[in-house]
Chains A and B, each alone.
Chain A
Amino acid sequence: MNPQFKKGILELCVLTMIAKRDYYGYELVEEISKILEISEGTLYPILRRLTDESLFETYLQESSGGPPRKYYRITKKGLEFQKQQLKEWSEFNKQIEQLIGRGK
């Protein structure tokens, strides 16, 4: 996939996944890289930026027999942002669909 395109959409994926439930970094990376082919490390800058912008908050949780997990939870502000981004994305998708669909 086009890397520039992927970068923008990755943010929406991260937002939407964490809007559904809390994830810790590695878990999120695993889930996404199962479907999208990405450099796994690039998810951490996204997580950090969204956290800095108060769209996420983090908390640490010890797990039995494993390393501690830093969980990401969406904030109210994050949820609003996610809704709006998702709306824009589906509108854009529809427009592209119209364009591409015409060719068929």
Chain B
Amino acid sequence: MTKIEFLKQLKVALEQRGVNNSTDILMDYEEHFAHALQNGKSEDEICTRLGSPQSLAMAFETKSMLAKPQQNNLKLEWSLVIKALGRLVVIAPFTLLVVLLPGILLLTYLITGWALVGGTFVGSLIAFVVGLVSGLFTFSFWILLSIVSSALAGFGITVAAFIFMYVTTKVLVQFVVDFIKWNLNFILDKRKEA
């Protein structure tokens, strides 16, 4: 085995076992090679005397038992962050396209709808007050009755519109929340395990 082969195999074996400080460890062996080569030994001889990279990696693993879980957590988090960022990049243009146009329509619908509800309510209220006041001033029962009754009809329409808007808003908000949740789950890769 050559020096390069030995170090490569050791690096792979250390990483497979999740050993900390693999760069430092490899440097120690590089130093060993440097000294042994200077003393006139061949790379093959040095490798044979060192022992197999796999069994050496095992010795480092047993010694770094304490450091291991911590290191694994860190690794996991990092890979998660990188994955999440990747997924964000994938989903962002799609979400923008899907969300932007329907989103604008949706928002318009909600604003107009609620404005109409507000409008009919305020209109009916004004009509009611005006009817009441003018009826009282003119002492005309019929004017009072007609204006107040139309105002009451206006209230009825307001209530109906309110209920309609309330229901549709609830459904739409739920839909948007579900969509955002789905997006987040996709980004964070939280697929439900079957």
Contacts and interface: CB of A to CB of B under 8 A. Distances in A.
Interface of A: 25-27, 29, 33, 39-42, 44-45, 47-49, 52, 66-70
A45 B60 contact: yes
A45 B36 contact: no
Interface in B17-50: 21, 24-25, 28-29, 31-32, 34-36, 38, 49-50
B63 A49 contact: yes
B112 interface: no
Interface in B29-87: 29, 31-32, 34-36, 38, 49-51, 55-56, 59-60, 63-64, 67
B31 A68 contact: yes
A26 B35 contact: yes
A40 B31 contact: no
Contacts of B35: 25-27, 66-67, 69
A44 B50 CA distance: 10
B22 to A, nearest CB: 11
Contacts of B21: 48
Given A26-B35, A67-B38, 4 more contacts: A39-B55, A39-B56, A45-B56, A69-B31
Given A39-B49, A49-B63, A44 B34 contact: no
Contact of B50 (A40, A66, A67): A40
A44 B25 contact: yes
A48 B51 contact: no
B68 to A, nearest CB: 13
B29 A26 contact: no
Given A26-B35, A68-B31, A69-B31, A42 B56 contact: yes
A67 B34 contact: yes
Contacts of B50: 39-41
6 contacts: A40-B49, A44-B56, A48-B60, A67-B35, A68-B31, A69-B35
A47 B27 CA distance: 13
A70 B31 contact: yes
A25 B25 CA distance: 12
Contacts of B24: 48
A26 B32 CA distance: 5
Contact of A44 (B32, B55, B67): B32
A52 B63 contact: yes
Contacts of B55: 39
Contacts of B32: 25-26, 29, 40-41, 44
A29 B29 CA distance: 12
